[in-house]
Structure 1
């Protein structure tokens, strides 16, 4: 009987060692916090026109004022990487903050605005009935729907996700990325674990509006802040 008891203890001890070894060998997944910022007021914003061509319109005087104010507000946040799309207005918005932080702006094409296709240079007042019809379908699971003359949801998601992957692979833990309203809103809602899809229509991002997510490409992303909104319950 004592031998059986001793044998049982040995087996239990070995099992515990195996379990602990497996736990200790599990790879640690690095998580980061990404802040997306919509560009400041552009000339096309002021004119009330949809403009998604690259490089697109630049900032208005009001837009430059907004960009400088944003830089002063965020200078103490200690962002360790600054990114922008290929669009002129995002790079101009990023420039004052990058200067404050002593960083270079890294340009990533995948952060560009969703191509408006046939609706380029049409009134933004009609966007809900034209440009945004397909993106709304993307949120409902129909990612094969395409904006006429432009891309579908899978193509958009793949391009923007590739840019986010590059940001993650840079090693930054608190990067800030300057992009455009539709791209930020729809990619975020298509990819976070806790989406609240009606935010795209009830609280569209204003110029210099921010969205914050945390996580990684492996474990997924969690929405933390949508331009000041932090409660995403229904």
Structure 2
């Protein structure tokens, strides 16, 4: 074997060894990170009447709510969301429709992000029922997922349903989806699942109509809250 041939073989052997080392060090591909925006619906007829209504499909938007939905679409259409989702409730679908039109997209329905069933407190004045209705969700975010709303679900069932809906969004391939959902469901799921929760936000800064929460992450490595209705989370 000539000196040149030996040099070439040595170089090839070194290259092969490097490939094998790199191949052995490389793990499975990292899950992609997405930006998930959760928006509470605009003013509904139940909001205007001051009652809790978690029936499906439930009441739609008021005239004021329809104007709010269009105003939000005008504000957010430049964000280039690649997926628009809403719950199975009329008020979220009507809230999502103007933005979907601006983006040239269809509203996709996800029952799992519907409002938390109020059980015994359904159709009661919000001034009377809101506090007891939210007792169980507040327990869920503190870690007691077995607490149940009287006549309704516990935290395990709620989290399972909402998380499955988020997984479906992630599996669609969207990288910047927007989801129109509900005040209690957005606040509760966010604070149950993000790595940087601020539990006091649920009581100190409840989401208003059109209020939104922005998260980054994925279902595998977890979520971080970036913004809670204008309050930066970092």
TM-score (norm 1): 0.90
Name the CA distance, whole Å, in 2 between partners of 1:147 and 1:229.
Answer: 29
Correspondence for 1:64 = 66
Shift of 1:25: 3.9
- Provide the residue aligned with 1:111 in structure 2: 113
Aligned residue in 2 for 1:73: 75
Structure 2: distance between partners of 1:20 and 1:205: 48
The 3-state SS of whatever aligns with 1:130 is helix
Q: Which residue of 1 aligns with 2:137?
A: 135
Determine which of 126, 145, 148 is the counterpart of 1:146.
148
Q: Does 2:45 match 1:30?
A: no
Pairwise CA distance, 1:125 = 1.5
Task: Give, in whole Å, the separation in 1 of the partners of 2:159 and 2:24.
Answer: 35
- Deviation of residue 231 (structure 1)? 3.4
Match of 2:143, SS state, is coil
Q: Which whole-Å CA distance do the structure 1 matches of 2:225 and 2:126 have between them?
A: 27
Q: Taking structure 1 as reference, are residues 130 and 27 closer, same or farther at Cα in structure 2, changes over 3 Å only?
A: same
Q: CA deviation at 1:124?
A: 1.2
Q: 2:220 aligns with which of 218, 221, 231?
A: 218
Q: TM-score, normalised on structure 2? A: 0.90
The corresponding residue for 1:230 is 232
Distance 1:50 1:170 in 2: 33
Cα drift, residue 140 of structure 1: 1.2
Distance (whole Å) between structure 1 residues aligned to residue 204 and residue 24 of structure 2: 47
Whole-angstrom distance in 1 between the partners of 2:112 and 2:43? 21
Is 1:159 aligned with 2:166?
A: no
The total of aligned residue pairs comes to 221
How much does 1:206 deviate?
Answer: 0.3
Q: Give a deviation string over 1:141-180, Cα, whole Å, max 9, x none.
A: 1100000000000000000000000000000000000000
C-alpha distance in 2 between matches for 1:19 and 1:197: 46
